[in-house]
Every structure is written in structure tokens, then in C-alpha cells.
A and B are shown apart, each in its own frame.
Chain A
Amino acid sequence: MASCSFEDVLAKAERDEAEKLKGITVSKELDLEFDPGNLLAFDKNRIDTREFKDCKREDFLRSLARDNTQLLVNEIWKLPTERVEEVLVAKLPDPTTLLPREKPAPKPKPPTKWEQFAKLKGIQKKKKTNLVWDEVHKEWRRRWGYKRAKDDTKEWLIEVPENADPSEHQFNKRNKAKKERVARNEYNRLKNIARAQKIKVPGMGLAPTPRQSKAELAQAVNVAKISTASVGKFQDNLPKEKTPKNTGKKRKFQPLIGDFSSEKQKQLDLLKVMDSKKPRLDVTKAVNKQMREEDMESRHKNKKDFGKKGRRGKMSGKGKAGGKGPKGKGRKPQMKQGKR
């Protein structure tokens, strides 16, 4: 008797379970593919076209949708849940359907000059507070930016330091320094961008600007000339163009701590010259100067009188004089007199 009732109880329990699940069970030939991350379900089963072709198309679709949605909801209810602010919430896994991106993935930016240096030296970024206590205004102010804590351009009183020029405008000096810092920061930012994009930025003065002086143009020409594979060795000169011999530094300075004996000698010579009462006259320089002045005078005179004839005559005369005259150290290159 007892065993019968025990089995009965089990059977009854099973039937109850089945009853309960009857509401939510759906029988399908093929299982659905689920993507709970996207709340997506895909039903691969064949759709009976005969049923579909009947007039009850909407009902057929609705029942199909109901079955599929029921299966999807069953799947979602299996997910782990938690209570967030008195609301029952199911945690979704990552979506499995691969959807294409909107835009290509961002490329990692190359490090800036400072970042490279910091990495090399092992400098760590220190976490700084957002606000700083400003003792003067007695309040918390931001570390940098508008109304910052220590803004030295906004001071109403600046003490003139002892070694400064008393007529110097201290306020203007601070403002100017700030402008310079801003300009330098901007310049470095642009250089960083150029380095990141691997764009070659021309040096100072070589980028074309609306107004370029003769010196800048000459520099640009020279730089262009040596920008070949053999550094300008086989570049022919234009007619009447001279190859500049000393490009770059015009003055060469001795190193600070170099040859002590030569430095001593130089300084002694200087003292001797200063001591001596004789005037130092560079004869060659004087002669050249005189000749040049005479040439200028004669040219101006001829312009008034004749025209081409006079000038031609004078040219030959000048050439001979130029050839005869001594070539001194301080001789400047003659002005060219091309055909006008």
C-alpha cells in the first residue's frame, strides 16, 4: 500500500511539473539559435507554406512569433539575475553575432617628445589634485586655466628686483613671458603633430611666406641646391652665380676653454695695439673705399649726360682699375653692372 502511494506521489509530482511547464514549452523540430546578448533568436525550421497560403496569414505569423518569442524568453530567464534598486535584472552575456564596426579602429598615437623622454628616464606621471588651495584668495582654485590659483600675471603689486632696470615695465615683462610660453607651447604641439604624421616641416624661413627678404630667398636657394643625393656637388651654377664657399656660420668662435697659450698671446697683442699711439690704417681698405666712391660718382654723372655710350666707356676704365688695384683683405665684392 505504502509503495503504491509513494509511486503515485512521484507520478503525480511529475504530472504537476509537466502541467506547470505546459504553458511555456514549445515543441520544434530544430532547436533555435540564440544570441541573448543581442536579444536575438533564429528559427531554422521550415515554414509550412500551405498553412501560410491560407487567408489566416496573420494568425499563422502571430502564432509562429509567439512560439519563437516564448523560446527566446525561456532562454533569457535562464540567465543569472540580480536585484538593482528593487528591480529584477538579468545579466546579459556578450553578443555572439558579429556586427561590423562603424569606423575603423583608432591607431595608437606615437608618443610625443616629452613622452619619449619620460619613458627613457623612467619618469612616472604623478597624480595631481584638481584644486589647489590659494592662500591669497583663501579658497580652492583650479590648478591651471581660468581663475587659477597662482596666476602671476594677475598680481596687482610686483616688487622690482634689485638687479633689474628701474625703468623696465615689470607687468609687461610678465605678460610678454606668458605670450612667449604660449607661442612655444603651440609650436611644440605642432611639431609633435608633424612628427606623428611623419610630415616633413621645413625649417625656419624656408616655408614660403608672402614677404621674403633677399637673405631668406638666398638661403632657400642654397638649401634647395644642396638637397640632392650628392649634396649639390654636381649642380651647375647659373650664369654669373657664385658658389658660396662658407655656408652656415659666418663667424667662428674659439671654444671657451681651449688653447691657453694662443688666448694669452691674443690678449697680449690686443693690449699692445691699444697701448701704441700709432693709428692703424689699413691701406688697402682705404684705397678700395676711395675707388668705389669715385666709381659711384662717375656713374651718377654719366647717367645725367650720355646714356649707354658713356657708361660703356666708363666700364672698361673701371675694369682696368679694378684689375690693377691691390686685392686686400677687406675688399668687398664689386657691384655687378649688367646690361640694363
Chain B
Amino acid sequence: LKLDQQVTCSSTRRSKRFLQSREPKLTEGQKSSMIIRGGNSSETVSQALKDVYALKKPNAVLYKRKNMVRPFDDSTALEFFSKKSDCSLFLFGSHNKKRPNNLIFGRMFDFHVLDMFELGIERFVSLRDVKTDTCPEGTKPLLVFAGELFETDREHQRLRNLLTDFFCGPRVSAVRLAGLEHVLHFTALEGKIYMRSYKVLLKKSGCRTPRIQLQDMGPSFDFVMRRNHMASDDLYKTAHRQPRGVKPKKKKNISHDAFGTRLGRLHMQKQDLDKLQTRKMKGLRKRRGEQTAETAAAAAKAPRTDE
């Protein structure tokens, strides 16, 4: 917590938890992204922003209203938004005569702009236009990059890293094999990037590994590379610095005794012994002849108490 936050301690536990969730952590969770609409935007750009938002839900916020921001000139407004919504990835869409159908993909480190890439949309097919069923929200997509430019050109390398960061979902330890439904394919050719999104159909093949068939789905973009702002090498290196010693989280309320048995603690509420279910306990049942009025009344009531 920052100094002023520490000194004026938040009055409720909930607000304290909220602030702590925004603190830097040892292992970071999924990055949130903010999708912002710029000063002037065309139909294409608005629809594109909505589609990317649909892809990135629920870890995304969409700012639909016009924001007069010029990221390449002055990025303080973006940094302010990022600080307020705790998002480190952003996508800024705008349209003007000089740069039609402009999308700026970017990421932040410590709420300052790290990288920004301006891509112009030449051709765009929206989710609405492709009439196939889509995969559920939040599926981790398969990412494929094709083209030797992604390897050789420095800017393309950085763009590849940024796109991976943007579109890869949460970090998972295991994945359901039948749930690999979505694939995003990026091709780099002659200064243009072709982004396609397909639904994966796993067909039977002779052996264990299925045969893949792809079905057109989702937004497809033809991007052209425009300006970019790449972070300096040392800033990039600082952003990659990982903390030492990340301990796995311990499970609470598990202890082991000398024999190796696993024990846990349970706190019982007060039991009303009068209402205890004794019908089903054979040992407690009185002999047939000795049945008193009390036990008969208890049997007649028979409400099951929580134990």
C-alpha cells in the first residue's frame, strides 16, 4: 500500500481487500485491458472495438464515449485511465483523414506506457457478419504466428510479444483437451498483418490425436503497420525482472499427527440434545414393552436436526 493509503487506513475490510488486490504481487494474475474509443471513430472502428471486447471479456473494460486523446503525443490521459481501472493493456481506436481506421495496441508497466503499436485496418469482417456459433466467453485461445518477419524484424518481434500478451488468456496449469476451441492466427507478410480467428473442430483420426478442421469465426482483420513506440531496452529489461522466491500458497486447516493422519478442525454449533434424531439409532431404541410416552412423542415429531 502506498504511504498515504497506509497512514489513512481504509475504514472497511472490503475496501482494504480491494486496495490490496491492486497492489503489486509476486505472481501476477491475468492482465486487464481497456478498450477506448478516440475522438472520432468510424463504424468500422467502433465495431472492431466491440468485437475485441467480446473476445477479451470479462477482463476488459470498454469506454464507448469519445475521448479526445492522442496517445503518441501525450499519454498522460491513458496512464490516468490505466491507474483508475487498474488495466495494463489498452486498445485505442480512432479515425481521421490522415490515419483512417486506426487501432493502437499498447501495454503499460507501472502505469507508464511501455509499448504502443499503431495498426490501420484495411479490411475487417465482424463477428456479426460471420453467422457461425462462437465459443464460450473466456476460453483460452490457441495462438499461432506465421511469417519469418516475426522472427527477423525487431519491430515485428516486439509486436508479436505484445499480441501474445494481449490475447493470451489467464495463466493456467492444465487445460481441458476437449475445450481447445478457439484459435487466433497472425500472418505477417510485406508489412501487413493478417489476423484470423477460427473455431477448432476436433475430428476423429485413426490415433489418439484428433484431426483438426477449422471453421471461420469471429473477427478477422487485415492490418497495416503504421507508427510505433517501443520501450527502450533497459526499461524493457526492468519490466521483465521477476522477484525471487515465490512460495506456493499453503492450504489452511490441514495438520498431520504423529501417525500421518490428516486432521482438520471443525467448530460445532450447540446441539439441542432433546431434538437429537434417535429413531435411526438402534442401540438407543427402547425395548418394545418399555416404550414410554416421551419416546413416542419424540418419534412422532421426528424433525431432522443439522449435525
- Which chain A residues have a beta carbon within 8 Å of chain B's beta carbons? 19-24, 37-47, 49, 52, 58, 61-62, 64-66, 68-70, 72-74, 76-77, 81-82, 84, 87-92, 95, 97-106, 129-131, 138-140, 189-190, 193, 197
A39/B142 in contact, CB under 8 A:
yes
Measured CB to CB, the closest approach of chain B to A76, in angstroms, equals 7
Q: How large is the interface on B (under 10, 10 to 19, 20 to 34, 35 or more residues)?
A: 35 or more
CA distance A72 to B177 in the complex (A): 12
Q: Is B122 an interface residue (CB 8 A)?
A: no
Q: Is B185 an interface residue (CB 8 A)?
A: yes
A39/B141 in contact, CB under 8 A:
yes
- With A39-B175, A41-B144, A72-B142 as given contacts, are A190 and B7 in contact (CB-CB < 8 Å)? yes
What residue in chain A is nearest B202 (Cβ atoms)? Answer: A73
- With A19-B206, A72-B142, A77-B208 as given contacts, are A62 and B196 in contact (CB-CB < 8 Å)? yes
What residue in chain B is nearest A66 (Cβ atoms)? Answer: B214
A42/B150 in contact, CB under 8 A:
yes
- Known pairs A23-B206, A73-B212, A105-B24 / 13 extra A-B pairs, C-beta < 8 Å: A20-B205, A44-B150, A61-B187, A64-B146, A73-B180, A73-B202, A76-B175, A91-B174, A92-B172, A100-B240, A103-B110, A104-B109, A131-B267
- Which chain B residues have a beta carbon within 8 Å of chain A's beta carbons? 3, 6-7, 9, 23-26, 28, 31, 88, 107-111, 114, 140-148, 150-151, 160-161, 164-165, 168, 171-178, 180, 183, 185, 187, 189-190, 194, 196, 198, 200, 202-203, 205-214, 216, 236, 238-243, 265, 267-270
Measured CB to CB, the closest approach of chain A to B162, in angstroms, equals 9
B212/A70 in contact, CB under 8 A:
yes
CA distance A100 to B238 in the complex (A): 9
A106/B25 in contact, CB under 8 A:
yes
- With A23-B211, A44-B148, A44-B151 as given contacts, are A81 and B267 in contact (CB-CB < 8 Å)? no
CA distance A131 to B270 in the complex (A): 14
A103/B28 in contact, CB under 8 A:
yes
A20/B207 in contact, CB under 8 A:
yes
Q: Which of these, B7, B88, B164, B173, contacts A92 with CB under 8 Å? A: B173
Main secondary structure of the interface of A (DSSP, over half): mixed
- With A103-B28, A106-B23 as given contacts, are A91 and B173 in contact (CB-CB < 8 Å)? yes
Measured CB to CB, the closest approach of chain B to A52, in angstroms, equals 7
- With A24-B211, A69-B212 as given contacts, are A46 and B187 in contact (CB-CB < 8 Å)? no
B189/A47 in contact, CB under 8 A:
yes
A62/B24 in contact, CB under 8 A:
no
- With A23-B205, A65-B198 as given contacts, are A49 and B189 in contact (CB-CB < 8 Å)? yes
Pairs across A and B, CB under 8 Å, 13 listed: A38-B143, A40-B142, A40-B145, A62-B196, A66-B213, A69-B212, A73-B180, A89-B176, A90-B177, A100-B165, A103-B110, A104-B109, A106-B243
Chain A residues, CB < 8 A from B145: 40-43
Q: Which of these, B111, B209, B243, contacts A105 with CB under 8 Å? A: B243
Chain B residues, CB < 8 A from A66: 212-214
A104/B241 in contact, CB under 8 A:
yes
Task: Report, nearest first, the 4 A-B pairs whose CB atoms are least far apart.
Answer: A20-B206, A100-B239, A23-B205, A105-B243
B265/A97 in contact, CB under 8 A:
no
Measured CB to CB, the closest approach of chain A to B157, in angstroms, equals 11
B174/A92 in contact, CB under 8 A:
yes
B267/A97 in contact, CB under 8 A:
no
Chain B residues, CB < 8 A from A84: 174
Measured CB to CB, the closest approach of chain B to A270, in angstroms, equals 53
Chain B residues, CB < 8 A from A189: 9
CA distance A81 to B183 in the complex (A): 21
CA distance A131 to B108 in the complex (A): 44
B28/A102 in contact, CB under 8 A:
yes
CA distance A164 to B175 in the complex (A): 71
Chain B residues, CB < 8 A from A140: 267-269
Chain A residues, CB < 8 A from B212: 66, 69-70, 73
Chain A residues, CB < 8 A from B205: 20, 23-24
A138/B270 in contact, CB under 8 A:
yes
